[in-house]
Structure 1
Amino acid sequence: MPSFQTPASTQPASAIALPELLAPAGNWDCAKAAVENGADAIYFGLDRFNARMRANNFTEADLPELMAFLHRRGVKGYITLNTLIFTAELPEIEQYLRTVIAAGVDAAIVQDIGLCRLIRALSPDFPIHASTQMTVTSAAGVAFAQGLGCQLVVLARETSIKEINRIQQQLSDRAIAMPLEVFVHGALCVAYSGQCLTSEALGGRSANRGECAQACRMTYDLIADGQPVDVGDRQYLLSPQDLSGLPVLTDLIAAGVSCLKIEGRLKAPEYVANVTQVYRRALDQVAAQLAIATATPQRYVPTDDERYRLEMAFSRGLYTGWFEGIDNQALVHARFGKKRGVLLGQVKSIKPDGITLELQAPVKPGDGVVFDNGHPAAKEEGGRVYGVQRQGRTTLLTFGRRDVNLNRLNVGDYVWKTSDPELDKTVRQSYAGETPQFQQPITVEIYGAVDEPLTAIARDPQGHIAQAESAMPLVSAHSQPLTTDKLTQQFSRLGNTPFRLDALTNHVEGDVMLPVSELNRLRRSLVESLETQRSRPRIWQLAEPAQLPTLLPEPEQPPTRQPELIALVRNQAQLAAAIATEVSTFYCELENPAAYKDLVEWFRHNRRTEAQTIWVAPPRITKPLENYILEQVARSQADGYLIRNYDHLAWFRDLPCIGDFSLNVANPLTAAYFKAQYGLERLTASYDLNIDQLESLLQGSPAHWYEITLHQHMPMFHMEHCVFCAFLSDGKDFRDCGRPCETQTVTLRDRTGTEHVLQADAGCRNTLYNGVAQTGAEYAQRLITAGARQFRIEFLNESPQQVSQTLRHYQQLLSGELSGAKLWKKLQLQSKLGVTRGPMDKDQR
């Protein structure tokens, strides 16, 4: 049994509600596994518009049967529509949504802001859940989602329990009531969801479109000041351990979290069943403790069996992620990036028929193991255990002939248990067959008196109610009357149904009797009525067709102006080179926002003309208690601000603002919302768009709303994880790391030999930039023809001379003096790394 330790909250137990348990379902077997092991709800994708396109997703034709099955079992079903939507897809997704809403789906999990608008136009009451892909990290983000019509917000995985409590307090102060959901278990993305452009940058496969290539699970070499850093066997620098929120379960409940979400729509049904069952039992244990507690709720302590089961389900190591704050040493152990399981120990000796080790976990014949010598990318030895023999403090494991090549093993190799067939069998039995194995509670009330029929009323947790009356009146009982115990015995016989009797209240007057057969009929009638009611689809309001045209922006006559360049620089030397050119608008992004004030003053004393303006960029993420950074930015009194998140929208609302790429503007509905609600002067088109999709965006809304980033080092990973701290110090966070980010230049070298540039920001968050610049020069004329007039050139670590040369080349491109093909060649000669056409190239998709 689990135990409970230190108090987790000062909130009284009676005020704490148990959160919903939300499980993943990539297919029918997974859905059944979740239902039979106690999930309150499942989330699933269809064959399009979801962030797990590699899953065996359901189809539209599956929806009626799936929702009937879930609702009959008292489980909700949420559809994942958590990707960006492109302009040409809007008519199709309107029809898609009509099917979803009409099928009685309980909610849609949504990333795209334009899609939220379309859903709300189609249905005023269909629930929208703001996906973690919306990157909500603060009360301002929750308020933004509420303004879109969302009914629940999934917080970013990087949000700690302390920050959740702070957000809840700020929401309360602002009289905002919004349920909050968090991921409680499963794989952790190292980058902020919705802000990862790695797959897009390296292969034209957008994580914002469900095509993540998992570059975070690859090996990287750490290069500091031009020299390789010896990190031993820690080569998986960006691969976090898997999340397990079980040790902080009571803290999450005390923080008022409304829903706990298990990651894993690409996982097998055994994983879904196993993890769901562990968390269901743990929640029920907490509920029992809260029900009897006379003091504050106590911290949940997982059992050895619970941890074993979670590790065997799938584990790269289990850790509480960011829930307990930042510990960069613990988050990423960096030894491997794939499933391991349970650590059995290390090889002590190698025998002719096996190996010895000091066991740290149970093992038995038939279990599968793998030997880890610190090179997980290479072929590893592994196989089934044949025999287990205790030899004092050590244990001899033997293997079948030719199962394991013992000559390839070394003393000191780690031994991981990767398979437990007995556990797998037990887990599969939990959802095998057609008979419901997880039953939901119902209550029954019994009424009656002599010469009146017996009336039975049943209620389920979802609010359904069923009533049945006996076909004959009650008669006086001279012996064996219908006592509460007898009625409870008869109405609890619910073995083949989705129900179990939680409580029976007997209101029968006097000693009466009724045949057992009639009691059985009443029980069956109640069950049938409840099942029928639960199977009916939810009825949401649904508007008539042709809602989309009413949301699209009206055409506008574009201003007559020549195409112009905008330069984004990252230091004063680059800015000095840029202001000497014909460019008039400059964006500046410094690591330390406190330096903006001096830089802006320097710029105004040194700019070439009064027409040149400087805009500054706050950090991409804003957490609770980080408004002091925004104050530093505002004190610069720049000509305007680059808006990157929801806090920026609120903080700089009455000042000149331009929306950056991180707002993920991919269609006219999203663009129109930011223009109308926040008055942004321009919007940076999403980096997920190729040339055809960019043209559609420009043609589907006023083209002068947008600026296009024509040249840049793509910001691939944007992370709470600090590589500087984790691998160039022994510290946990900024308080004890010694700030190596301020003294060392760091790159991460991938398997192709490309060195990607790592930079830190004011919040100690890291961005890994593509070491190869990309250009859309060859598409500039098409974009100009489509109406685009503002083109951004972003610099990273280029020299002042490279800044001057690059801007001069692009000015020639926009004036027609230089073709895109010739500029491409000049850039290749200019940069020792060359350039790539990037995701704007339609052929990369």
Structure 2
Amino acid sequence: MQAELNQTTLKRPELLAPAGNWECAKAAVENGADAIYFGLEKFNARMRAENFTEADLPELMEFLRDRGVKGYVTLNTLVFPQELREAERYLRSIITAGVDAVIVQDIGICRLIRHLSPDFPIHASTQMTITSEVGVEFAEELGCNLVVLARECSLPEINKIQNRMQYRGATLPLEVFVHGALCVAYSGQCLTSEALGGRSANRGECAQACRMPYELIVDGESVDLGDKRYLLSPQDLAGLSVLPELVQAGVSCLKIEGRLKAPEYVANVTRVYREALNRLMRELDEQKEPEKPFLSPEDTSNSPVSNPSPEEIYNLEMAFSRGIYTGWFRGINNQELVHARFGKKRGVYLGDVKGIRNEEVTLKLAAPLKAGDGIVFDCGHPEMKEEGGRVYGVQRKGKEVIITFGKGNINWQRVHVGDKLWKTSDPELDKQIRQSYAGENPQFQRPIDIEVHGEVGKNLVTVTRDEVGYLVLVESEILLEEAHTKPLTTEKLQEQFGRLGNTPFRLGNLVNHLQGNVILPVSELNRIRREIVTKLAAERAKNRLWKLKQNVSLQDLFSFDSHNYKYHRLLDKKSPNLIVLVRNLKQLQAVLDSDVNTIYCEFEDIHKYREAVEMVKVKRKINSSDSPILEIFIAPPRITKPGENWILQQIQLHGADGYLIRNYDQLKFFGNDRCVGDFSLNVANALTADYFKNKFGLERVTASYDLNISQLKDLITSSPPDWYEVTIHQHMPMFHMEHCVFCAFLSDGTDFTNCGRPCEKHEVKLREFRFGSEHILQADVGCRNTVFNATAQTGAEYVQKLINLGLRSFRIEFVNETPEDVAQTIQKYQQLLRGEITGSQLWKELKLQNQLGVTRGTNREIMTKGSG
């Protein structure tokens, strides 16, 4: 039954390619992209790309419309309070330019777009960390028209999301990344660049710390992993082999990563996927015949692209490759996702060096090589200078080849037997690729379907449709006559209407509805063809006219008078409240021995929450009747995927006072309980805060860790201060990953089913090679890993300013601190909140890094200059 449903509803997904500049846009269009996505000068997650400008939009969209290609703008970063009005102006320009959609991370910006325009399409970015059907529903309620799922979603999970959405009558299209670089951390949940260098990934400034080498420290000792140093650097995603399953799952759009890549990369990868997708759709159409059952999600044996051809793999690896892999599509395999040998582009593997003699290298080739190709010798130390260059000659010697190089091009003292040889450049392929988008005339032609109607004594009428959905009708100026010889046949019509030359079109299907034997001069058929092209081009050139409200403002969206909070600070007489998050029972006991009233618990073992709640209840009985009520909130895992509600159900059984909400599933699941929104909801402006606070009834929301002190002040003064909680002491949670380092490097297992649970037996840290910092690694109940910054950071020096602004909820977090450290730290912060010591005194006494979430500057500047 499911197969029959898929047969009738099967659609070809849109192929979406990246464009960091004009040349990349042309490369994508000329190689078959159905749509491109690109950033403007601000608010996009690839600020290092060349990007387009607002002034480019009219010309760019005209070019795309002429070619039948859609254009999506990436506005996929968090937007700070003082930037909202600029973002509004930006959005008005984007909507007016007729852009086909905007890709958005910030929830407040989604609200703003829908406020400005009731019909302009919003695509929920992968930065929104949507991993379940509940997340899709959240996006739909927000006004989104499409959801880009987190890269960590497997094929079974994608199918579950689709099936549950269909069961509930939801129809929101889903988009997935199908090729390109894989972030090791969940997009929207990576704070590594922010923590180490003040360059926020949520602001488009990722410094790619995941591609750096790390040393594995287990129970205080360094583990010898051989040449494996790049412990957090995944191979690149290549979903070519799972295209059948993605099509069957009903995925609406396949996205290629790479707005920082060269046009050759864009052209190469787009063409490979275009051709594979077209081939797949033809075969799937044939499989609709009764004797050819449709592919099941588990069976790809009949698929034309289940096993990509050597040529396709070669092209993808030469485009850009750190090794290519199916990512999380086929589930979790921690042994294969990260090979850990290098974190940069390699290309095609050629083989291991067998011998070196007289400046000649002998090896058995694993891939084609010719004179002029570029190579690099890999001795297992990619962080060092590597030898390589252009090949001068390739001479066959039995099953092996001898490779020679230009005199003096290689330092042979640095090349060794056993080194791996990689092909990094193929000038011949590059030339071929560049030719695919060279010149002014269209090279990739998209099909148009033509129906021809007519009979003797009447006009010939053509009805033409393109893939985008445009339709034009063209009639002959001469009446059809009866043909005594050589009547108009389907073949004759195909020949004349197929002469589309230097146009963006090629003839697809032609259906001949002519009645009787009729004839029309060839000159008139040619005129009709030219008019079809002209009219279709004119239809495409029309600007999309989205509805745009003129007499609306940001203020209309708020459920409060923001000016009241900006110019009249709350004179709240309540004392500041210190909230403490602990990660084990010993830390909890240390907190209970202090006079803290609000405790958050985040444990790897969810069964320990029962004991934690009992410990709090016992303490309540001991407290005097006039003491503030002691409260315990449980912090569920940051990610919830299909099938993981059992974790939330188990947590709810323990009877906590409330919950620290990390994601959209938890918003819904704990909807009838007391809840506080955590930093992972990415609250960076009052529009977002207002949505969570008032739509979902959260008691408070935690301000985004991307805000520096100035931006945090803007947030608090633009909305009620009692909405917010600010974390003033923590080891920044940097990477939050589906990838399990414990499993990958301390076991032979692939996932939690066979890893032996080393996370329960060992204390593990990741030591940076550059600075020697030992970052703390912890697993959660879902086996996801978090890397916490080695150095705790404090915003103590800003606490009094925040109190003066009306803020009353301050959080401190612990990771692996001893109970003694916990007690001492709590005591110092209580003194700070009571005004008994200054922030500078606290900073000096605890010897902490003085930082409160900056967005600019280097690690050294942060450590020496405080807030930057």
Distance (Å, rounded) in 1 between the aligned partners of 2:51 and 2:791: 35
Match in the other structure for 1:679: 697
Q: Secondary structure at the match of 1:568?
A: strand
Q: Secondary structure at the match of 1:472?
A: strand
Match in the other structure for 1:665: 683
- TM-score w.r.t. the length of structure 1 is 0.97
Alpha-carbon contact 1:203-1:839 (below 8 Å) kept: no
Match in the other structure for 2:268: 274
The residue identity in structure 1 corresponding to 2:590 is A
| 1:76-475 aligned within 5 A | 76-293=70-287, 294-297=292-295, 298-299=302-303, 300-475=306-481
Alpha-carbon contact 1:23-1:41 (below 8 Å) kept: yes
Alpha-carbon contact 1:186-1:263 (below 8 Å) kept: yes
Deviation at 1:841, TM superposition (A): 8.5
Q: Secondary structure at the match of 1:442?
A: strand
Is 1:581 the counterpart of 2:594? The answer is yes
Q: How many residues align?
A: 833
Is 1:565 the counterpart of 2:578? The answer is yes
TM-superposition CA deviations, 1:141-197 (whole Å, max 9, x none) = 111111101111111100000111111122122221111111000000000000000
Distance (Å, rounded) in 2 between the aligned partners of 1:172 and 1:291: 23
Q: Secondary structure at the match of 1:126?
A: coil
| Corresponding residue to 1:648 among 654, 666, 690 | 666
Alpha-carbon contact 1:691-1:841 (below 8 Å) kept: no
The 1:440/1:710 distance shift into structure 2, 3 A limit, reads same
The residue identity in structure 2 corresponding to 1:826 is E
Match in the other structure for 1:594: 607
Deviation at 1:842, TM superposition (A): 7.5
Is 1:27 the counterpart of 2:41? The answer is no
Match in the other structure for 2:823: 804
The residue identity in structure 2 corresponding to 1:837 is Q
Is 1:603 the counterpart of 2:616? The answer is yes
Alpha-carbon contact 1:13-1:295 (below 8 Å) kept: no
Is 1:732 the counterpart of 2:750? The answer is yes
Moved more, 802-811 or 555-564: 555-564
Deviation at 1:14, TM superposition (A): 4.2
Specify every segment of 5 or more residues in structure 1 that has no aligned partner in the other structure, as ranges. 1-7, 829-833
Deviation at 1:511, TM superposition (A): 3.4
Alpha-carbon contact 2:352-2:420 (below 8 Å) kept: yes
TM-superposition CA deviations, 1:763-818 (whole Å, max 9, x none) = 00000000000000111111112211110011111111111111111111111111
Distance (Å, rounded) in 2 between the aligned partners of 1:486 and 1:125: 44
Deviation at 1:634, TM superposition (A): 0.4
The residue identity in structure 1 corresponding to 2:178 is V
TM-superposition CA deviations, 1:544-582 (whole Å, max 9, x none) = 143211012414767531112111111111111112222
The 1:93/1:344 distance shift into structure 2, 3 A limit, reads same
Deviation at 1:521, TM superposition (A): 1.4
Deviation at 1:496, TM superposition (A): 0.7
TM-superposition CA deviations, 1:515-568 (whole Å, max 9, x none) = 322221111111011001101111111011432110124147675311121111
The residue identity in structure 2 corresponding to 1:790 is S
Deviation at 1:312, TM superposition (A): 0.4
Is 1:774 the counterpart of 2:780? The answer is no
Deviation at 1:418, TM superposition (A): 0.5
Deviation at 1:397, TM superposition (A): 0.7
| Corresponding residue to 2:49 among 43, 55, 59 | 55
Distance (Å, rounded) in 2 between the aligned partners of 1:10 and 1:795: 54
The 1:510/1:736 distance shift into structure 2, 3 A limit, reads closer
Distance (Å, rounded) in 2 between the aligned partners of 1:44 and 1:701: 33
The 1:67/1:445 distance shift into structure 2, 3 A limit, reads same
Specify every segment of 5 or more residues in structure 2 that has no aligned partner in the other structure, as ranges. 296-301, 863-867
Deviation at 1:838, TM superposition (A): 4.3
The residue identity in structure 1 corresponding to 2:790 is G
Match in the other structure for 1:5: none
Match in the other structure for 1:837: 851
Deviation at 1:479, TM superposition (A): 3.0
Match in the other structure for 1:831: none
Distance (Å, rounded) in 2 between the aligned partners of 1:826 and 1:768: 26
Distance (Å, rounded) in 1 between the aligned partners of 2:494 and 2:232: 57
Deviation at 1:840, TM superposition (A): 4.6
Moved more, 478-487 or 701-710: 478-487
Deviation at 1:638, TM superposition (A): 0.6
Distance (Å, rounded) in 2 between the aligned partners of 1:590 and 1:505: 66
Distance (Å, rounded) in 2 between the aligned partners of 1:773 and 1:93: 34
The 1:329/1:401 distance shift into structure 2, 3 A limit, reads same
Match in the other structure for 1:499: 505
Alpha-carbon contact 1:14-1:290 (below 8 Å) kept: no
Q: Secondary structure at the match of 1:530?
A: helix
Moved more, 513-522 or 365-374: 513-522
Distance (Å, rounded) in 1 between the aligned partners of 2:387 and 2:176: 38
Q: Secondary structure at the match of 1:593?
A: coil
Match in the other structure for 2:59: 65
CA RMSD of aligned residues (A): 1.5
Deviation at 1:655, TM superposition (A): 0.4
Q: Secondary structure at the match of 1:380?
A: coil
Alpha-carbon contact 1:191-1:717 (below 8 Å) kept: yes
Moved more, 596-605 or 707-716: 596-605
Alpha-carbon contact 2:194-2:854 (below 8 Å) kept: no
Match in the other structure for 1:624: 642
Alpha-carbon contact 2:728-2:852 (below 8 Å) kept: no
The residue identity in structure 1 corresponding to 2:724 is Y
Match in the other structure for 1:704: 722
Distance (Å, rounded) in 1 between the aligned partners of 2:407 and 2:328: 45
Alpha-carbon contact 1:186-1:244 (below 8 Å) kept: yes
TM-superposition CA deviations, 1:173-229 (whole Å, max 9, x none) = 222111111100000000000000000001111000000000000000100000000
Distance (Å, rounded) in 1 between the aligned partners of 2:225 and 2:473: 69
TM-superposition CA deviations, 1:295-339 (whole Å, max 9, x none) = 123332210100000000000000001110111000000000000
Q: Secondary structure at the match of 1:301?
A: coil
Deviation at 1:403, TM superposition (A): 1.5
Alpha-carbon contact 1:760-1:767 (below 8 Å) kept: yes
Deviation at 1:759, TM superposition (A): 0.3
Distance (Å, rounded) in 2 between the aligned partners of 1:169 and 1:103: 36
The residue identity in structure 2 corresponding to 1:547 is S
Match in the other structure for 2:298: none
Deviation at 1:139, TM superposition (A): 1.0
Alpha-carbon contact 1:385-1:400 (below 8 Å) kept: yes
Moved more, 599-608 or 141-150: 599-608
Q: Secondary structure at the match of 2:502?
A: coil
The 1:760/1:262 distance shift into structure 2, 3 A limit, reads same
